[in-house]
Amino acid sequence: MNREIKIFPNSKVLNLLAAEKFIDIGKEAIKRQVVFFVALAGGSTPKSLYRLLASEPFKNQIDWQRIFFFLGDERNVPEDDPESNFRMINENLFEPLQIPQANIFRWNAGKKAPEATAKEYETAISWTFIEDEEERTRPVFDLIILGMGTDGHTASLFPYTKALSESKRFAVANRVEKLDTTRLTLTFPVINNARNIMFLVSGAEKAETLKNVLEGEFEPEKFPSQNVNPHDGNLFWLLDEKAASLLHQK
C-alpha cells in the first residue's frame, strides 16, 4: 500500500486537486480496461468536488459514458429524501452530466428492509465485477472516494458497530444505535480491495479526530477510518490546513 498525505490551503484547492486526481485515475482505468468503476462518498464534503467535475474544465476531460458509479454508503431513506446520498450526488453530478441510468448503481433504499436492500446491492456489485460465482473474488474498484466523520467513521462504518468486523459480505445494513438508524454501506473487504482510495477531509472540526486516526494508537473500533488500508492500492488523504492543523507529519 502506498499512502500519501497531501495538505492544501483550503477546501477549494483541495477539491481542484481531487477533481484532477479523479480524472487521472479514471483515464488510467479506461486506458487499461475500457471502463472506470468508482464508488462515491456521501455527506457534505464531496458536494463541491462533484460540482467541479460537472463543470469546466473537468467535464470535458473524460468519457463519462465509460464510468460506472456506485455509492460507498447510503442512508435508509428514499431517493427524494434530503438525507439521501443519491439525491445529493444526482443533483450535483449525475444530472448535470446526464449520466445514463445504466451507469448508476443506487442502493434502492427506503423502500424495503435495509437487509434486503444491502443484499440486492451486493448482487449488483457481484454481477458487475465477477464473471462467475465460483470466482467469488472481491470486486476491485478503481477508485473509492471516502469522507471521515468527526467520530472517525467512514462510509457508514461507525464506531463499535457490527459492520466493522464483516469479513465476507461486500455490502451490508449496519445498525447505528447512536443515530437510531440503520445505514447501508460497503464493507472493509471491498474498500481495501480498491486500486485507489481518496479520503477528502476538510474543516477544523475534523482536526482532533484526524490526528487520532493518522497519528494515534491503532484503535479501529473507536476510529474506523484507521481500518482503511488498501491491500495493493494507493491511499490518498487529501486534507485542508484546518483539518490537518494538529498533525505532526506535514
Contact residues: ligand 6PG, CB under 6 A = 41-45, 72-73, 85, 147-149, 153-156
- Complex with ligand 6PG: residue 26 or 42, whichever CB lies closer: 42
In angstroms, give the least distance from the CB of 169 to ligand 6PG: 18
Contact 212, 152 (CB under 8 A): yes
In angstroms, give the least distance from the CB of 117 to ligand 6PG: 14
- Complex with ligand 6PG: residue 62 or 190, whichever CB lies closer: 190
Three-class SS of residue 99? coil
Contact 105, 69 (CB under 8 A): yes
- Report how far apart, in Å, the C-alpha atoms of 92 and of each of 45, 50, 119, 125, 231 are: 12, 6, 27, 23, 31
In angstroms, give the least distance from the CB of 145 to ligand 6PG: 9
In angstroms, give the least distance from the CB of 205 to ligand 6PG: 8
Taken in order 121, 124, 130, 133, the sign of the CA dihedral is positive
Q: Name, in order, each residue with C-beta under 8 angstroms of 50's C-beta and a sequence gap of 6 or more.
A: 40, 88, 89, 92, 93
- Complex with ligand 6PG: residue 27 or 242, whichever CB lies closer: 242
- Complex with ligand 6PG: residue 72 or 230, whichever CB lies closer: 72
